Structure 1
Amino acid sequence: MQPFTEKVIKIIQEIPPGKVMTYGQIARCAGSPRAARQVVRVLHSMSRKYHLPWHRVVNSKGKIAIQEDASFQEQLLSLESEGVEVGIQGRIDLGKYLFQPKEV
């Protein structure tokens, strides 16, 4: 496994309930600021294997990025069950819910 992938997994595993991070923020914390799409790839391919809380990752605007309805609803309900308020069109207040991890 690549070091970047290992860091991404560790960062995502540390997002606490009730908080979110953005794809780009995770990429920056893992040492590759322009690799947000790679974070998406890691989530897509490794969430089950590593039990990643994928629902705590949103886009840079604080929105649920998934377009497919069933997965959108799953992410929405998972976030709300942790106390995250999700507004119109799946938007989350990053000022309130954004997690700032310590060094990885």
Structure 2
Amino acid sequence: MTGTAPSPSDLRQRVLALVARIPPGRVMTYGQLALLAGQPGAARQVGFIMNGVLKEGEVPWQRVINAQGRVSTHKLGLGELQEELLRAEGVEFDDTGRCDLARRQWWPEDEDAAPPERLL
């Protein structure tokens, strides 16, 4: 990857391409998507991108969660739906609303970026 940040449309395209590849029952975090899309630290921008595709069916948006293993869509009124969709795929949440990222976080095998020591 180059040292320049991708344009907003390039970032959107890269993020959506990655989200489209997340297998059922697996999740990625906003920060992880930003890293793999070539803009580390741009988790909020990824959140804005995902907010734009919610419920469109364009990509499996429900498979993107925050770095704590929780859904971040409750304030949008979609948290219960997102958790329900993930549960239907086999993702379990504990009593605090967290899923086990160590088991459920997906990393593309063909990416240059290897999973960091600390999961994003």
Please indicate, yes or no, whether the TM-score normalized by the shorter chain is above 0.5.
yes
Q: Which runs of 5+ in 2 are unaligned?
A: 1-7, 113-120
Give the Cα separation in 1 of the matches to 2:76 and 2:56: 23
Contact 1:43 1:52 in 2 (8 A): no
Structure 1 unaligned spans of 5+:
none
User: Aligned pair in 2 of structure 1 residues 37, 95: CA closer, same or farther (>3 Å)?
Assistant: same
Paired residue total: 104
More helix by share: 1
Q: From the superposition, tell whether residues 71 and 46 of structure 1 become closer, same or farther in structure 2 (CA, over 3 Å).
A: closer
Question: Structure 1 length as normaliser, TM-score?
Answer: 0.89
Question: What is the alpha-carbon root mean square deviation over aligned residues?
Answer: 1.9
Question: Which protein is bigger by CA-based radius of gyration?
Answer: 2
User: Identity across aligned pairs (percent)?
Assistant: 37
Could you tell me how far 1:52 is from its partner in structure 2? 1.4
SS of equivalent residue, structure 2 residue 22: coil
How far the C-alpha of 1:68 sits from its partner, in A, is 3.3
What residue identity is the alignment partner of 1:63? Answer: R
TM-score, reference length from structure 2: 0.78
Letter aligned with residue 86 of structure 2: L
